[in-house]
Chains A and B, each alone.
Chain A
Amino acid sequence: MKTILRNFLASESSRESLWSKSFRKFRRDRFGIAALIVVGVYAIIALGVWVGLWGQNWSDISDEGFQGISRDHWFGTNLIGQDIFARAIAGTKTAFEVGLVVALSATLIGGVLGAIAGYFNGTIIDEVIMWLYGCIDAIPFYLFVAAIAFAMQDMPYAMHVAMIATFWSSTCRIVRGEVIKIRNLEYIQAAHAIGVKPLTIIYRHVTPNTFHIMLVQATISFVGAIKSEVILTFLGLGVQDGVSWGTMLSESINEVLRGHFGNFLAASGFLFVLVIAFNMFADALQDATDPKKISS
């Protein structure tokens, strides 16, 4: 009886979907969960700023600059009397906005082009897409992003466009490789044999099997976009009108020597924690969605 029950449970387990297994595995990863909570807190902060619950006073100035830490100003104020904590909070929204837009767009473009290139491997379509991302990858990343951001500096979304234009290529390359592997599997050959159209095969049968890769790539792009936004803004090529951790860091250049560390600590602290948390989250996600690791 016990053997029968064990066999039954085993068969139930083998029927469990890959996503479900991934979810179970992710839940067991304590560091991954902790990182997710941290990222979640940042997301709530960003959402709160977006809907106007907090961080709205980031541009308010006061008569005296460089006020110390107090109940009103948790990180003090900057040269023109702006509350550093409010600016760091508002900077979270900027970071998330850039991260989300870039990660979603780059993953979508990279995923679609990668799937097409992989499915039509060896054809002119594949060659063109490979040539395109080869060209983009050949240009040093920050040079390329800075050039686009500079050329389009009057456009509010110049920085987003610049990053999307570069970030899609890595997703494209990885998805292409995975699709080349998938397209030779029996079920794809069978679909092909019964006359299913190539685009339908890509949409229905190939792309869903690359979602785990795209999910991980999206998290990597997200954190990469946030870092790039901060760096570009620091260099004067990113956020012009709003507030960003990059703006705060560039302000801190002049302030640190004067003995005021508020901007530097707040911006670098917020950025550091988010980047570490997101990297840990991405690692945990990669482990959880890797079919080889799940099956073991």
Chain B
Amino acid sequence: MKTLIARKVRPRPALITLGIALAALSLCSCKPPFSDRDDIHEVFRFSEAGAPITMDPAQASTAYENNMVTSIYDQLYDYKYLARPYALKPRLATGMPEISDDGLVYTFQIQQGVYYADDPCFPDGKGREVTVHDFIYSMKRQFDPAMLPRGEWLWRGKIKGLDAWKAAGSDYDQDVPGLQALDDYTLQITLNQPFPQLVYTLTMGYSSFVPRESIEYYGREAGLNPVGSGPFQLESFTTQRAVLSRNPNYREEYFDLAYEGYAPETQGWAGLEKLQGKRLPAMDRVEVYFMSESMTRWNSLNKGTEIHFGGIPTELTHMVASQLSPLKLRPDYADRFTGMSAPDFGFVYMAFNMADPRIGHHEDPEQDRRNLLLRKAIRAGFDWEQRNRTFYNGLGQFFPGIIPPSLDAYDPDLPHTLGTADLAQARAYLQEGGWTAENLPRLEYGATANVTNNQMFEQFRGWMERIGYPREKVVLRTFATFGDYNRAIRDQEVMLIPIGWGMDYPDSQNVLQLYYGPNQSPGSNLSNYDNPEFNRLFEKTKVMLPGPERTALYRQMNEILLRDVPTISGMVRTSPFIWHRNVIFYPSESPHGSLLKYAYISPKTAEEAQH
């Protein structure tokens, strides 16, 4: 009996260890997620649907890449944070440029005493002063084929001698007559012909000031080792996360509400007054998480406190908001979040790859005519209104053609019937073109692989089935990442290209250039449309100053696109955004680059901290 009792009470180290471990685990599980982070008010964490592939301004072409580039590099100009409609402001420039009477010579002054971030590419690792020579070097890079540039289309044929410089072999030691440094801080750009959008293009990531040392030091790795003079520097980067930290060398810049275009009557609710007088960037550190699934992003925002700003997935909007435009959150969410619905400064559309003879341009005029009828039939079967209801909460705004309502050349008199499917008309087009189920070409719909894109494809296939397209002839071609998809588009490999365009500046020229023949892929003309009549009008308008005559020509070009159907366009989406109540932020889509320097998390009050 004694032995039995002794055996029963003998301590067992394994069980004790297990017990302690379980107790520790249960204690840990009582804490809310991420509550052990002390830096909750010093780090701005948010997510994006796609990851950048490169942060080299010469190559960065997606919105995700541009966001990083404009956070790290400086450009000459920027847009005022809060002004609507959008208004330009100097960034590295000291003021707006002096323009010669003939509109061909622009003279810019840049700020003195602006330094690049410290980096091993510089002697002793200390960032040197920014000069206009860096701008000239960057512009040359856009015309150097070895750099695989993406922004050349913006300035092609416009700056004196730059195209000739490229043709002569892109020798960086050779001068370009149209890009002159009058001194270290004065830049003179001479144009071949007037280019009214020039200053707009100098807000873009492509026109960033890049130090030559960094490109020569990092070589092919420059895209992952950005060195700029902007508010942030890149601390680390993976395909899941990028970490930006305050650039210690960043010049003194203080936030001025009035200067940024603050309108208290419409923006007063956002608490932006707390930002007044703060030195920028307002946060020491920014962490960007790349998550392709909207629900994952939502969970990150909603269940932890690690991400401070985000959108509401379409599937959940009814649960989160009682009204979408203007946004009104349900009480349980309103306690924790604030938000707004903001229209995109851009639109979504589906381009046809006109370089694909199965559906686009064809040498044989008869086949070309049949292809046009096929594209018209597909457009007639495409139902924007249904897409809007299904995927955009009914908040999207359809517009015919390529000029959206936010631009001055938008024509409200164009027929909005193109926004709804007309099945009888679609079948009539097919019949007129002699298209039957047997001879219709296989339609390859490109998209990055995710649930929403898959459902958009299935909806498109359903529409095509309704007009008589055999199901097996409408196929999905998926790509693992947006970068892969973008690359395939640039290589002219995708037949049907559903995509979005974030406008670079508020001028219709920026959307019409998407169909200018010389801009074909790998340029911005993804549909590889090439119509001499359209090209002639584009060349004529690109030197014209804003005015009724130019607007009339823009509208004429828009009608050519409606006639030739290189695209099914388009819809401006309105997205509901929400963010934690202690975050001070005012979201905007393009044409702004990065707004991260304005992002601010107000510290908790003593009462909040106690709570």
The answer to whether A and B belong to the same complex is yes
Q: Which of B280-325 contact A (CB under 8 A)?
A: 293-295, 313, 315-316, 318-319
> In the bound complex, do residue B459 and residue A59 qualify as a contact, i.e. CB atoms below 8 Å apart?
no
**A82–B316 alpha-carbon span in the complex (Å):** 20
> In the bound complex, do residue A59 and residue B316 qualify as a contact, i.e. CB atoms below 8 Å apart?
no
How far apart are B473's CB and chain A's nearest CB, in angstroms?
A: 11
B21-29, B111-119, B253-261, B447-455 - the one binding chain A: B447-455
> In the bound complex, do residue A60 and residue B465 qualify as a contact, i.e. CB atoms below 8 Å apart?
yes
The answer to whether residues A61 and B295 also contact, given A236-B450, A257-B316 and a CB cut-off of 8 A, is no
Q: Does A201 contact B (CB under 8 A)?
A: no
How far apart are B498's CB and chain A's nearest CB, in angstroms?
A: 15
Q: What string of 1s and 0s marks CB contacts (under 8 Å) between A235-265 and chain B?
A: 0100011000001001101110110000000
The answer to whether residues A236 and B478 also contact, given A247-B454, A253-B295 and a CB cut-off of 8 A, is yes
Q: Chain A binding site: helix, strand, loop or mixed by DSSP? A: loop
**A254–B319 alpha-carbon span in the complex (Å):** 12
Q: Does A198 contact B (CB under 8 A)?
A: no
How far apart are A109's CB and chain B's nearest CB, in angstroms?
A: 29
Q: Does A291 contact B (CB under 8 A)?
A: no
**A241–B476 alpha-carbon span in the complex (Å):** 6
| Chain A neighbourhood of B452, CB < 8 A | 254
Q: What string of 1s and 0s marks CB contacts (under 8 Å) between A38-74 and chain B?
A: 0000000000000000000001110101000000000
> In the bound complex, do residue B390 and residue A236 qualify as a contact, i.e. CB atoms below 8 Å apart?
no
| Chain B neighbourhood of A180, CB < 8 A | none
Select from chain B the residue with minimum beta-carbon distance to A236.
B449
| Chain A neighbourhood of B461, CB < 8 A | 59
| Chain A neighbourhood of B316, CB < 8 A | 257-258
The answer to whether residues A80 and B455 also contact, given A236-B450, A254-B315 and a CB cut-off of 8 A, is yes
> In the bound complex, do residue B478 and residue A240 qualify as a contact, i.e. CB atoms below 8 Å apart?
yes
**A40–B454 alpha-carbon span in the complex (Å):** 32
Q: Does A153 contact B (CB under 8 A)?
A: yes
Select from chain A the residue with minimum beta-carbon distance to B458.
A80
| Chain A neighbourhood of B405, CB < 8 A | none
How far apart are A162's CB and chain B's nearest CB, in angstroms?
A: 15
Q: Does A133 contact B (CB under 8 A)?
A: no
**A79–B449 alpha-carbon span in the complex (Å):** 18
Q: Does B609 contact A (CB under 8 A)?
A: no
Q: Does A150 contact B (CB under 8 A)?
A: yes
Select from chain A the residue with minimum beta-carbon distance to B385.
A63
Q: Does B471 contact A (CB under 8 A)?
A: yes
**A78–B454 alpha-carbon span in the complex (Å):** 13
Q: Does B386 contact A (CB under 8 A)?
A: yes
> In the bound complex, do residue B315 and residue A82 qualify as a contact, i.e. CB atoms below 8 Å apart?
no
Q: Does B463 contact A (CB under 8 A)?
A: yes
| Chain B neighbourhood of A65, CB < 8 A | 390
> In the bound complex, do residue B476 and residue A255 qualify as a contact, i.e. CB atoms below 8 Å apart?
no
**Which single member of B294, B455, B475 contacts A241 (CB below 8 Å)?**
B475
> In the bound complex, do residue B390 and residue A80 qualify as a contact, i.e. CB atoms below 8 Å apart?
yes
**A161–B465 alpha-carbon span in the complex (Å):** 31
> In the bound complex, do residue A153 and residue B478 qualify as a contact, i.e. CB atoms below 8 Å apart?
yes
Q: Does B502 contact A (CB under 8 A)?
A: no
> In the bound complex, do residue B459 and residue A80 qualify as a contact, i.e. CB atoms below 8 Å apart?
yes
How many residues on chain B are close to A (CB under 8 Å)?
Answer: 28
| Chain B neighbourhood of A241, CB < 8 A | 475-476
How far apart are B235's CB and chain A's nearest CB, in angstroms?
A: 30
How far apart are B291's CB and chain A's nearest CB, in angstroms?
A: 13
Q: Chain B binding site: helix, strand, loop or mixed by DSSP? A: helix
Q: Does B30 contact A (CB under 8 A)?
A: no
**A247–B450 alpha-carbon span in the complex (Å):** 10
Q: Does B480 contact A (CB under 8 A)?
A: yes
> In the bound complex, do residue B480 and residue A150 qualify as a contact, i.e. CB atoms below 8 Å apart?
yes
Select from chain B the residue with minimum beta-carbon distance to A87.
B458
Select from chain B the residue with minimum beta-carbon distance to A254.
B315
Q: Which of B113-172 contact A (CB under 8 A)?
A: none
The answer to whether residues A257 and B295 also contact, given A150-B480, A241-B476, A250-B451 and a CB cut-off of 8 A, is yes
Most buried by A among B458, B462, B477, B480: B458
Q: Which of B182-202 contact A (CB under 8 A)?
A: none
| Chain A neighbourhood of B465, CB < 8 A | 59-60
| Chain B neighbourhood of A150, CB < 8 A | 480
Most buried by B among A59, A80, A251: A80
> In the bound complex, do residue B318 and residue A63 qualify as a contact, i.e. CB atoms below 8 Å apart?
no
**Which single member of B319, B454, B455, B462 contacts A257 (CB below 8 Å)?**
B319
> In the bound complex, do residue A258 and residue B295 qualify as a contact, i.e. CB atoms below 8 Å apart?
no
**A251–B462 alpha-carbon span in the complex (Å):** 17
Q: Which of B352-405 contact A (CB under 8 A)?
A: 386, 390
Select from chain A the residue with minimum beta-carbon distance to B293.
A253
> In the bound complex, do residue A240 and residue B476 qualify as a contact, i.e. CB atoms below 8 Å apart?
yes
**A250–B313 alpha-carbon span in the complex (Å):** 15
The answer to whether residues A61 and B463 also contact, given A80-B458, A153-B478, A240-B476 and a CB cut-off of 8 A, is yes
How far apart are A30's CB and chain B's nearest CB, in angstroms?
A: 42
How far apart are A239's CB and chain B's nearest CB, in angstroms?
A: 10
> In the bound complex, do residue A82 and residue B458 qualify as a contact, i.e. CB atoms below 8 Å apart?
yes
Most buried by B among A236, A251, A253, A255: A236
The answer to whether residues A63 and B315 also contact, given A80-B455, A250-B451, A251-B455 and a CB cut-off of 8 A, is no
> In the bound complex, do residue B462 and residue A61 qualify as a contact, i.e. CB atoms below 8 Å apart?
yes
**A150–B319 alpha-carbon span in the complex (Å):** 36
How far apart are B297's CB and chain A's nearest CB, in angstroms?
A: 12
How far apart are A262's CB and chain B's nearest CB, in angstroms?
A: 14
| Chain A neighbourhood of B293, CB < 8 A | 253
**A79–B465 alpha-carbon span in the complex (Å):** 18
**A236–B478 alpha-carbon span in the complex (Å):** 9
> In the bound complex, do residue A258 and residue B319 qualify as a contact, i.e. CB atoms below 8 Å apart?
yes
> In the bound complex, do residue B386 and residue A63 qualify as a contact, i.e. CB atoms below 8 Å apart?
yes
How far apart are A231's CB and chain B's nearest CB, in angstroms?
A: 15
How far apart are B451's CB and chain A's nearest CB, in angstroms?
A: 5
How far apart are B210's CB and chain A's nearest CB, in angstroms?
A: 35
| Chain B neighbourhood of A257, CB < 8 A | 295, 315-316, 319
**A190–B480 alpha-carbon span in the complex (Å):** 58
How far apart are B5's CB and chain A's nearest CB, in angstroms?
A: 46
Most buried by B among A61, A79, A251: A61
**A63–B390 alpha-carbon span in the complex (Å):** 9
How far apart are B495's CB and chain A's nearest CB, in angstroms?
A: 14
How far apart are B227's CB and chain A's nearest CB, in angstroms?
A: 34
The answer to whether residues A258 and B315 also contact, given A63-B386, A251-B455 and a CB cut-off of 8 A, is yes
**A267–B257 alpha-carbon span in the complex (Å):** 54
How far apart are A232's CB and chain B's nearest CB, in angstroms?
A: 12
**A64–B353 alpha-carbon span in the complex (Å):** 31
**Which single member of A59, A153, A154, A258 contacts B462 (CB below 8 Å)?**
A59
Q: Which of A130-172 contact B (CB under 8 A)?
A: 150, 153-154
| Chain A neighbourhood of B458, CB < 8 A | 59, 61, 80, 82
**A153–B476 alpha-carbon span in the complex (Å):** 12
> In the bound complex, do residue B451 and residue A251 qualify as a contact, i.e. CB atoms below 8 Å apart?
yes
> In the bound complex, do residue B318 and residue A258 qualify as a contact, i.e. CB atoms below 8 Å apart?
yes
> In the bound complex, do residue B462 and residue A255 qualify as a contact, i.e. CB atoms below 8 Å apart?
no
| Chain A neighbourhood of B294, CB < 8 A | 254
A sample of 14 cross-chain residue pairs with beta-carbon separation below 8 angstroms, ordered by A number, consists of A59-B458, A59-B465, A61-B459, A65-B390, A78-B455, A80-B459, A241-B476, A250-B451, A254-B295, A254-B315, A255-B315, A257-B316, A258-B318, A258-B319
Beyond A153-B480, A241-B476, 6 extra complex contacts between A and B, CB < 8 Å: A78-B455, A154-B477, A240-B476, A241-B475, A251-B455, A254-B295
Report, nearest first, the 4 A-B pairs whose CB atoms are least far apart.
A61-B462, A254-B315, A236-B449, A80-B459
